[in-house]
Amino acid sequence: MALRPEVTEPLPLVTEDTLLDEAMQCPTDRPLETRPLTEERAFAFWQKDIPEEYWSLDAPQIIARIAAAREQLGSRCVILGHHYQREDIIQFADLRGDSFKLAQWASQQPEAQFIVFCGVHFMAESADILSLPHQTVVLPNMSAGCSMADMADPEDVFAAWDELHDAGITDVIPVTYINSAASLKAFCGRNGGIVCTSSNAPNVFDWAVEQGSRSNGHSDAPKILFFPDQHLGRITAIKHGVALDEMPVWDYALPYGSLGGNALEQLERSRVILWKGHCSVHLRFSLEQIDKARRENAGITVVVHPECSIDVVQAADLHGSTEFIARTIADGPPGAKFAIGTEINLVSRLARENPDKLVFCLDPVVCPCSTMYRIHPAYLCWALEELAAGRVVNQVQLDEDTRRDARIALERMLAVK
């Protein structure tokens, strides 16, 4: 079969402003059901080259066409669905999970020629890094990015690295959250660093300290430069006994020479340097919401994602990755009550799948992660129909150097567990 990789435009950055625009049109007052692309204006027109015939298809039409294309492709194609995807996507996923589980699984599917990744761009990049040479990774909508990942522009990270070295701070291990560009994973691979996820961040911190102590030949632990999510970095550092004044925040918006807004002495005695990134979805959760959930529901368990702010994470009963949250609810006894601090598509699904328990989102204004939501089923339909016709659209394909170096950092992560 002749495959025709499409040349795609560079990814548009996902900024706070674009997210705000989308949130303004967020369907908070009704169920998150699929409407034709033309009616989901906030999410529909980001990748404009989808053929016009897909624009006005309604949900039943799209779903029937996805099912037909899926059947035609058979075992040549696997569809991976992140927990935050909408139901009309998740129903077609051969596997659903968090970015860690999906990256692992993608690397274990040698029979699949096509890996269609229903998630955001950095996840599809990880799948491409870990996939086999004969495999093709497709992201149905190339504009499905992540605002947090985009807060760590590789050029800014490289500049911060140089600035630290110029200032004489050289014993640093770079650790990137999996929510980051492949070029940053490659940077970690090249510089003795590693990737982490929200499931394994504490173990990765142990690994980094151990590696650094070995390489510097003495028992002093190295510093960790952690990006892009300051909140995951902060809670993980606290678990390691790092005091708040030993973890300065590096403000990437400041010009070169500003040491990210820190005094040299502050950086010298730091143990972890936190990049000033965050997830706009998880910063919506607050102490007031937790207090209200507890006031109105005696005996409730509050479970949040570690991308929430530190006060929210510390006030919650439990915190952990999306896999942890799903498992905690599934393992709860009948009648248990859970208030959850994570993305609404996952919370709604967990509520439906656990009808013997009370499960609700801490945030009453239920906006989804708008970039995950950009994987409209019409895009999945288009990508699958093109594959079935022998054409590849929206291939995520990294250059060999990036792939090789990023793979080093990702394989270290997979080995740490």
Give me the residues that bind ligand SF4 (CB under 6 A), please: 120, 146-148, 179, 279-281, 343, 369, 371-372
Q: With beta carbons less than 8 A apart as the criterion, state whether 114 and 138 touch.
A: yes
The rounded distance, in Å, linking the Cα atoms of 206 and 203 is 5
The rounded distance, in Å, linking the Cα atoms of 359 and 342 is 12
For ligand SF4, the closer of residues 176 and 179 by Cβ is 179
For ligand SF4, the closer of residues 281 and 380 by Cβ is 281
For ligand SF4, the closer of residues 44 and 369 by Cβ is 369
Q: With beta carbons less than 8 A apart as the criterion, state whether 196 and 229 touch.
A: no
For ligand SF4, the closer of residues 88 and 343 by Cβ is 343
Residue 287 Cβ vs ligand SF4, minimum distance, rounded to whole Å? 20
The rounded distance, in Å, linking the Cα atoms of 389 and 112 is 17
Residue 3 Cβ vs ligand SF4, minimum distance, rounded to whole Å? 29
Residue 20 Cβ vs ligand SF4, minimum distance, rounded to whole Å? 13
| DSSP 8-state class, residue 337 | E
Residue 342 Cβ vs ligand SF4, minimum distance, rounded to whole Å? 8
Residue 14 Cβ vs ligand SF4, minimum distance, rounded to whole Å? 7
Q: With beta carbons less than 8 A apart as the criterion, state whether 175 and 74 touch.
A: no
For ligand SF4, the closer of residues 281 and 293 by Cβ is 281
User: Hey, what are 121's tokens?
Assistant: 């761009």
For ligand SF4, the closer of residues 142 and 209 by Cβ is 142
Residue 322 Cβ vs ligand SF4, minimum distance, rounded to whole Å? 9
**SS3 category, 370:** coil
Name the E strands within 314-401. Answer: 318-319, 337-341, 358-361
For ligand SF4, the closer of residues 143 and 280 by Cβ is 280
The rounded distance, in Å, linking the Cα atoms of 210 and 205 is 9
Residue 244 Cβ vs ligand SF4, minimum distance, rounded to whole Å? 23
Burial, 187: exposed, middle or buried (Cβ in 10 Å; 0-12, 13-18, 19+)?
buried
For ligand SF4, the closer of residues 23 and 414 by Cβ is 23
The rounded distance, in Å, linking the Cα atoms of 373 and 144 is 8
Residue 413 Cβ vs ligand SF4, minimum distance, rounded to whole Å? 17
Residue 361 Cβ vs ligand SF4, minimum distance, rounded to whole Å? 13
Residue 346 Cβ vs ligand SF4, minimum distance, rounded to whole Å? 10
| DSSP 8-state class, residue 277 | B
Q: With beta carbons less than 8 A apart as the criterion, state whether 212 and 247 touch.
A: no
Residue 15 burial (CB count, 10 A): 14
The rounded distance, in Å, linking the Cα atoms of 176 and 321 is 16
For ligand SF4, the closer of residues 179 and 328 by Cβ is 179
| DSSP 8-state class, residue 229 | B
Contacts of 107 (CB under 8 A, 6+ apart): 127, 130, 131, 414
Q: Which residues pair with 96 in a beta bridge?
A: 81
User: Hey, what are 193's tokens?
Assistant: 């660093």
For ligand SF4, the closer of residues 15 and 191 by Cβ is 15
